[in-house]
Amino acid sequence: MASALLALLLLAALAGPICLRLSRHPGFITGRDGRLSTSTALALAWTVILVWLLLAILGHGLTAGGGVSYFRGADGPLSPLTTVYLPLLGGPYVALIAAKTVVGLRVEHGSLAKPPAPATPSGRRPLRELIANDSGRTDLVDLQYVTLSAITMLYVVLFFLADVGAGLPRLPEEIWALTGAPAGAYLVNKIATRANPVITGASVSGDHLTVEGGGFADARLTVDGTAVPIDTDPLTGTLTAPLPPGAHPPLTLVVTARGLRSDPYRYEGPAVPAQQHPDR
């Protein structure tokens, strides 16, 4: 019981500062578009867990375990490391490296758009981005990758805490499939998915509308269901269009490009500043 408690304290000491740092400055686990990266976040989580396991086993071996002799033998506390845990860690890292390569090549060749994520007032990124696509809708492949990985992590942590002295939990060697298979599906999804155009922002100046986002090649824009002629800025990729007669916020904007349709974007109009009340 004492060993499990100390191991939990070590996990809190290791993971706590990392989580706090990432919640305030998530740049380390964001993609090129500024959104949270599923593959990066899961690879980092598995790294933290494996480092924690090794440190906890080292601490137990040097204290309650009796020293160097604790680590010897074919069935020592680290014996499952190469057969179970390194393959378990390998799937997320293969997905991370391959996904970054695939996305980079697709963006470079113009078959994928990665518009910048809208900024948040706090500078933090919502955790929902781990299971959502660029439009903010839940992606089933990302959801199963995160869910199965989280369940496997919980499985490893609980079995280790149940018997810290036994070292790395003796898990079935095939358990790597719980991270490897979802990681493979995640990568295939990155390769095969055709990217819908994404609207990230809009503004109105006079009688003209500006739409920000990405994937606007050969695009058509509708405002409240009315098609409008557009101009595309080749440098920023933004769309500029005249407002339909009588149109005023709130407006529903939809972009269609190469047969793919964006999610409807609701433009509510410029933000109204809070009214200032004089001090009494």
Fold of 198-267: Immunoglobulin-like (2.60.40)
Alpha helices in 86-169 (DSSP H): 86-108, 140-162
Please enumerate in sequence order all residues whose Cβ is within 8 A of that of 29, keeping only pairs 6 or more positions apart, or say none: 22, 36, 37, 40, 41, 44
Q: Domain boundaries in the chain?
A: 2-192, 198-267
Q: Considering only 55-59, 115-119, 265-269, which range has the smallest mean pLDDT? A: 115-119
Q: 255 forms bridges with which residues in the sheet?
A: 221
The answer to whether the beta carbons of residues 219 and 205 sit under 8 Å apart is: no
Judge residue 215's burial from the number of C-beta atoms within 10 Å of its C-beta, 0-12 exposed, 13-18 middle, 19 or more buried.
buried
pLDDT tens for 63-84 read: 876 777 888 877 888 888 888 8
The model's pTM is 0.74
pLDDT tens for 101-123 read: 988 887 776 666 677 777 777 77
Please enumerate in sequence order all residues whose Cβ is within 8 A of that of 41, keeping only pairs 6 or more positions apart, or say none: 29, 130
CA distance 73 to 56: 19
Token pair for residue 144?
């199963």
To the nearest whole percent, how much of the chain has pLDDT over 70?
A: 92
CA distance 54 to 160: 11
